[in-house]
Structure 1
Amino acid sequence: MHIYGSLALRKCSSFNSIQQSLTERNKHQMFASITFQEAEQEIRLVIGVDEEVRKLEGNLRTIQAVLDDAEKRQLKEEAVKLWLKRLKDVSYEMDDVLDEWNTAMIKSEIEKQEKAESSPILKKVCSFIPSSSCCFRQFKKLGLRHGIAHKIKELSENLDELRKESDRFGFRIYLNRDTEAVARPKTTSLIDVSKICGRDKERNELVSNLLGKGSQEEKSPHVISLIGMGGMGKTTLAQLAYNDVDVQAHFETLIWVCVSNPFDQIRVAKAIIESIVDQPPDNTELQNLVNRICDLIRGKKFFLVLDDVWSEKPNDWEPLVLALKCGAQGSRILITTCKEGVAKMVNSAYTINLDVLSDEDSWLICSLVASVDKDDEQLGKLGRGLANKCKGLPLAAKILGSVMGGQRSRQKWKNILDSNLWELEDVQNGVLGPLLYSYNELSSAIKQCFLYCANFPKNYLFSRNELVYQWMAQGYSGSKYDMEDMGERHFEKLVMHSFFQDFEKDDNDDDKIIRCKMHDIVHDFALTMTTNECFTIDVDKVLGIELKSARHLTLELKKKTQFPVSIYNAKNLRTLFFRDSSIVFPLDLFQHLTCLRSLNLEYSAFEKNFQMKWKN
């Protein structure tokens, strides 16, 4: 039941006054069905809207505390995925309501200032003669406040239900972000060299650096870092170097440790000792363990591989590196990581950034794993087409090759080629898994920045400034006082997590990255994580999309195409991009899309259309 109009204007001080006001309204047949109890309930709701806003924000923060766990479990548990979608919907709705509320408060302040600046005579006249416009403004304020109060009440009920469901799921609140719901796979130094293709250049570069003669001036220990996104083949390259005949002969002691996540100093220290003496140490005190490492490698030239390092905390690294300094000059430590920040933290003397494989090398891997002759004329053309879908990612080629090997016929390969590669569960889970680990390392705000990149087409040349401004418009960059600086930090963090590639740098500004691209498979991953939120459509696809849930939309409408008015139903849209479109669209569009925060008309005919209508 809604209460409007003069009830608030009268500012009743007691419920007797409220009841009297209701009686007067009943005479005018405005609120004949409202009871005294209903009126009391509505008044309390409207008056308490400020407190409800604060409660809603607190309730959301409570639920967001379990978001890390939910996001890590969503790919394994369908129920969690559905719960997470509902939470995101409510979060968006809450954001919109708070925007509406804050906008109303700002407008109210502006009106107060304008009223204060009016002439004293006008103020006196208004104080004695209530104008219809003043009454209308008060009526409008009450209506807005009442509408927001009901929206907040409904959202609070939805949040409360989600909170109860989160309890049933047994979500954990992660105070330590390193904890993961999905265990990282462990690696070993063993490898079948006959099944490895490509990376000859990087392999030779790495081996040459490992065998280089150490000078007295070189840092000890000499650290080399292999950096690349998940699935790029860092571990494989480290295994190739570790098993190289010359490398094996060059060092007195070789050690392989899979560090993984979280970084456990004691476990890593024990693994180093066990790798040297072939038995686990009894001691569990870190001090005793590092002393033991120092004794075992003292004066020896060792080669240590620390595979899959994630921690950027100097405190995790410092005790170990102090012990490792006991080794002889010329010792080497090789670290593999997805994060450039790790390479900086360990003061790498040399870094190798892994790039994608060539299409030919991708096909060699696919054919090798599928046990198919790479020169097979019947399957070769289809096979190369499939291998090209891997976009040079070795892990993708390996997994696709296993799928191809299990479906070895021309027709089945053609079916795979014609389908969306990510519809294949084995491929999706295998390739996107390593990216999920990197994604889970990000804070909630940086996750939002990364996922926003799904709005842009594949192979898009991102402008650093464009991205930062878009994130600012969406509210992903913190408080209004440092939004641009925070956006810059978010960009750097995504770069350091290997989510961007193909950098263009400014030679005049300390090699600052100004433009970059995103690997197609990383883009596919972002799209997977934004299902039912981000859409790219043309006029033929509009009817097949649930526009109510759409938050970000890109329109690709060709010339002479009539503007699809179904877009009006996308009431919750926050981003609207027009790409490669010369279509003229109606100017009343933005009266329907009231939640828009970002609008890109770079490729549209909007400006021309607006100018023509303005002249008329």
Structure 2
Amino acid sequence: MADAILYGVVQKIIESLGSSTLKQIGSIWGVKGDLEKMNNTVLTIRAVLLDAEEQQVQNHQVKHWLNRLRDVVFDADDLLSEFSTHVFRLKVMGGDKMAKKVRIFFSSSNQLVFSLNMACKIKAMRERLNDISNDRHQFQLKLVDCPLETRVVTRGRDQTHSFVPDEDVIGREKDKQAIIDLLLDFDVEDNVSFISIVGIGGLGKTTLAQYVFNDEKVQTKFELKMWVCVSDDLDVKKIVEKIIESATKRKPENLEMDLLQNKLREQLNQKKYLLVLDDIWNENEESWCALKRLLMGGAKGSKVVITTRTNMVAEITSTISPYFLKGLSRDQSWSLLKKMAFKKGHATINSNLEAIGMNIVEKCQGVPLAIRMIGKVLFFKQTEDEWLHI
């Protein structure tokens, strides 16, 4: 599994180095050229990280290369944090010109000392990164063209399933009803309708689909109900096998594609079915059309629900307007954090802890996965100082 923390830090470094503010300060302190070169080096390293992660199991030299990279990347992150702290201080001083901010905040002597120290640190960091970047050639690491964030999420994704207890879902009642209304609208032109739920990773698309899938009204309206977790390349044969297995509760053994498509169409033939295709990210329209043709044999009112992180997938797959899932509200986020951070039946919550918790959920921007993960950490930390540290 890819090191998500390492990817995240690399991404942060790239974003920081691309910041116009940092480049402006870098120009004033005479390190702009080094920053831009460091940015190019980090971009090059990022392009081969996924291949290195795959090779490290068999190749100990590659594993050592990755360990060296982790060390220097985290050091670079610390350096940029120091850099960003000075930028922030300059911003709060006010004034129109960055050079004026520098002069106001630092005495001439301190400014010179800081500039020299920062220039030396950045130059040393760039040289360390260059050495690591040059070493990649000996391992023949492949460049990966897919967006990093897409590859990281899908490679590490566990297989999903169709069940979620109602009490585990917070703040999705309106979303649930909106999807159910779409599913139970049988006054449509096509026999099979395709509905996409779109949202960023961690927003709760799968949870919403589970919530809807298990609703009593939905369960009684469809003769056949199936759940398939895609989470990988859109391999039509594999997906057809999974749909058949979900419909029959038996895995088809070593069948050729022609036999598989016959078996699938037999299962769907003239049945009002509900199929959830969870976590589709592949934007290959040709593959989707090949799969869609095999799903058209259901009775009128059949529905296919697709969860995806990309608008392009929604445009390719949906026959009606996609449903764009939003983050939880502030109150909903706090309810979820409380559920994760405190033991069941917890009587009262310290008002100071609540104030800190509200600040935490605001930073999570309504993303349930982020709130849940932080809540699990806070479960073992019940003092104000510990919460403030988080």
Give yes or no for TM over 0.5: yes
Instruction: Check the 8 A contact 2:52/2:66 in 1, yes or no.
Output: no
> Aligned pair 1:360/2:342, yes or no?
no
Partner of 1:280: 251
Q: Which whole-Å deviations, capped at 9, do the CAs of 1:442-467 have from their partners, x for residues lacking one? A: xxxxxxxxxxxxxxxxxxxxxxxxxx
Matched, 1:376 2:365: no
Amino acid at match of 2:210: Q
Equivalent of residue 200 in structure 2, options 218, 229, 241: 229
Specify the code of the residue in structure 2 equivalent to 1:418.
L
* Corresponding residue to 1:203 among 176, 185, 188: 176
Aligned to 2:315: 344
Q: What aligned pairs does 1:510-589 form with structure 2 within 5 A after superposition?
A: none
**Alpha-carbon distance, 1:380 to partner:** 3.7
CA-to-partner distance for each residue in 1:115-138, whole Å, 9 max, x for gaps? xxxxxxxxxxxxxxxxxxxxxxxx
Q: Relative to 1, partners in 2 of residues 1:187 and 1:305: Cα closer, same or farther, differing over 3 Å?
A: same
Q: 1:292 aligns with which of 248, 263, 267?
A: 263
SS at match of 2:364: coil
RMSD: 3.6
> Aligned-pair distance for 1:278?
0.6
CA distance, structure 1, for counterparts of residue 331 and residue 303 of structure 2: 33
Alpha-carbon shift at residue 200 of structure 1 (Å): 1.2
2:364 to 379, 390, 398: 390
- Would you say how many aligned residue pairs link Structure 1 and Structure 2? 287
Contact 1:191 1:240 in 2 (8 A): yes
Q: 2:48 — aligned with what? A: 66
Offset of residue 306 of structure 1: 0.5
Aligned to 2:290: 319
* Secondary structure at the counterpart of residue 51 of structure 2: helix
Quote the offset at 1:363 in angstroms.
1.2
If asked which structure has higher relative contact order (CA below 8 Å, sep 6+), I would say 2
SS in 1 for 2:322: strand
Q: Determine the structure 1 residue equivalent to 2:8.
A: none
Taking structure 1 as reference, are residues 294 and 384 closer, same or farther at Cα in structure 2, changes over 3 Å only?
same
Deviation at 1:164, TM superposition (A): 3.5
Report the CA distance between 1:289 and its aligned residue.
1.6
The Cα offsets for residues 69-114 of structure 1, whole Å up to 9 and x where unpaired, read as: 359999x954334577999xxxxxxxxxxxxxxxxxxxxxxxxxxx
1:191 lines up with 2:164 in the alignment = yes
Residue 173 of structure 1 deviates from its aligned partner by 4.5
1:79 aligns with 2:68: yes
- Dislocated runs of 4+, deviation >4 Å: 60-65, 70-74, 82-87, 158-161, 172-181, 372-375
Residue by residue over 1:588-610, the C-alpha shift from the partner in whole angstroms, topping out at 9 and shown as x without a partner, is xxxxxxxxxxxxxxxxxxxxxxx
**Alpha carbons of structure 1 residues 264 and 405: separation in structure 2 relative to 1, 3 Å:** same
Instruction: Identify which range, 305-314 or 349-358, moves more after superposition.
Output: 349-358
| Deviation of the 1:272 alpha carbon | 0.2
Give deviations 1:143-189, integer Å, cap 9, x for gaps: xxxxxxxxxxxx99x96874434535x74454788876943221111
| 1:257 alignment partner, SS class | strand
**Which whole-Å deviations, capped at 9, do the CAs of 1:19-41 have from their partners, x for residues lacking one?**
xxxxxxxxxxxxxxxxxxxxxxx
**Partner amino acid for 1:396?**
A
What per-residue deviation string (whole Å, max 9, x for no partner) do you get for residues 315-358 of structure 1? 22122211110001100000001100000111331311111111
Deviation at 1:287, TM superposition (A): 3.0
| CA drift at 1:280 | 0.6
Percent sequence identity over aligned pairs: 31
* Cα distance in 2 for residues equivalent to 1:262 and 1:279: 23
> Which residue of structure 2 lines up, in the alignment, with residue 333 of structure 1?
304
The 1:415/1:70 distance shift into structure 2, 3 A limit, reads farther
Cα drift, residue 62 of structure 1: 9.6
Q: What is the distance in 2 between the residues matched to 1:64 and 1:382?
A: 35
The separation in 2 between residues aligned to 1:235 and 1:354, in whole angstroms, is: 11
Unpaired runs of 5+ in structure 1? Answer: 1-59, 88-154, 422-616
The SS at the match of 2:379 is helix
Q: 1:62 to 1:358 in 2, by over 3 A?
A: closer
Distance 2:357 2:45 in 1: 47
The aligned amino acid for 1:393 is V
Matches within 5 A, 1:453-532: none
Is the contact between residue 271 and residue 280 of structure 1 (CA under 8 Å) also seen in structure 2?
Answer: yes
User: Whole-Å Cα distance in 2 between the matches of residues 285 and 347 of structure 1?
Assistant: 29
Task: Name which one, 1 or 2, has greater alpha-carbon Rg.
Answer: 1
Q: Which is richer in helix? A: 2
- Equivalent position amino acid for 1:333 in 2: V
Q: Distance in 2 between matches of 1:161 and 1:385?
A: 39
Q: CA deviation at 1:403?
A: 1.4
Deviation at 1:366, TM superposition (A): 1.3
Identify the match of residue 270 of structure 1 among 241, 251, 270: 241
Is the CA contact 2:44–2:133 (under 8 Å) kept in the aligned structure 1?
Answer: no
Q: Does 1:418 align with 2:375?
A: no
How far has the Cα of 1:295 moved from its partner?
Answer: 1.1
Match for residue 242 of structure 1 among 213, 219, 227: 213
Q: Counterparts of 2:193 and 2:270 in 1: how far apart (Å)?
A: 15
Q: Which amino acid aligns with 1:243?
A: N
Amino acid at match of 1:79: R
